[in-house]
Amino acid sequence: MNVAESAVGQGGRMRLSRQVTNSIIRLIAEKKLGPGDVLPTELQIAEQLQVSKSSVREAIKMLEALGVVEIRRGLNTIISENPQRGYLNVMMTHLYLNSGTLEELRVFRRTFEAAYTSLALEMADQKDLEAIGQALEQFRAALEAGRLTVEDDIRFHSRILTATHNSFLISLGNALNELFREAIGVSLHTNPEIALHDHEKIYQAIVDRNPVAAVEAIGKSADQWAESLRIEPDGIYQ
């Protein structure tokens, strides 16, 4: 597997960087490396691809930003054990650079959650239903004990994501959970009982395999989330 280092100029370097990045991804696939596995050294990759170490270094930094690898300072580069970080990086960059409003972000969350929950109620097996139900009971127990945290909410939604049996949705959904972590905390602090009620409705819709009820429950939950954050139509916190 060779990558000719013949490109000249900035545009050429960008093309070369993409080529090296794609070649490293193929190398990972060929070696069947998984989360936590160590990537070959920069020198080894450079020799195999017949490119400079600087080109390999640039490509690895790009893969780190995408969440494919993690660079352990002073140690090795490993295949990421937290691939959703790449999704999170992209979304955070979009939020910083895009002029979209918080209201648009709310609609995005509601739409995405409805989509993966609808798939989950189709794909969920008995083990998935039990896991979601267990997460719901943990949420209820934490609320009654006065120790409800964001983790209790994220656990419930993560179990639903797992029930989709779709690795892309699971990674993206977990990244979104992290993106909304602070906002979820505000909502739980404001209306924990309503949050429990919404979770119960969502869970029952999944058990009943009722997509209409699921979408309705998620819509109400998203509206309540927005209200707790006091998001106006222009997306400004009040």
Task: Report domain extents, the chain.
Answer: 9-81, 86-229
Q: Is the pLDDT of residue 3 over 60?
A: no
What would the DSSP string read from start to end of 24-85? HHHHHHHTT--TTPBPPPHHHHHHHHT--HHHHHHHHHHHHHTTSEEE-TTS-EEE-S-THH
pLDDT of residue 108: 82
Contact 172, 87 (CB under 8 A): yes
Tens digits of residue pLDDT in 25-56: 888 888 888 888 888 888 999 999 898 888 88
pLDDT of residue 10: 46
For residue 100, what pLDDT band results from cuts at 50, 70 and 90?
A: low
pLDDT of residue 26: 87
The rounded distance, in Å, linking the Cα atoms of 213 and 46 is 55
pLDDT of residue 142: 96
pLDDT of residue 71: 81
Q: What is the mean pLDDT of residues 82-105?
A: 61
Q: What angle do CA 223, 226, 227 make, to 5 degrees?
A: 85
pLDDT of residue 237: 34
The rounded distance, in Å, linking the Cα atoms of 219 and 211 is 12
Which of the pair, 23 or 212, is modelled with greater confidence? 212
pLDDT of residue 227: 76
For residue 232, what pLDDT band results from cuts at 50, 70 and 90?
A: very low
Q: Is the pLDDT of residue 170 over 50?
A: yes
CATH 2.40.50.140 fits 86-229, yes or no: no
Of the ranges 62-71, 99-108, 153-162, 164-173, which one carries the lowest mean pLDDT score? Answer: 99-108
3-state secondary structure of 237: strand
For residue 238, what pLDDT band results from cuts at 50, 70 and 90?
A: very low
Q: What is the mean pLDDT of residues 92-116?
A: 74
pLDDT of residue 25: 84
Percent of the chain residues past pLDDT 70, beyond the cut: 79
CATH of domain 9-81: 1.10.10.10
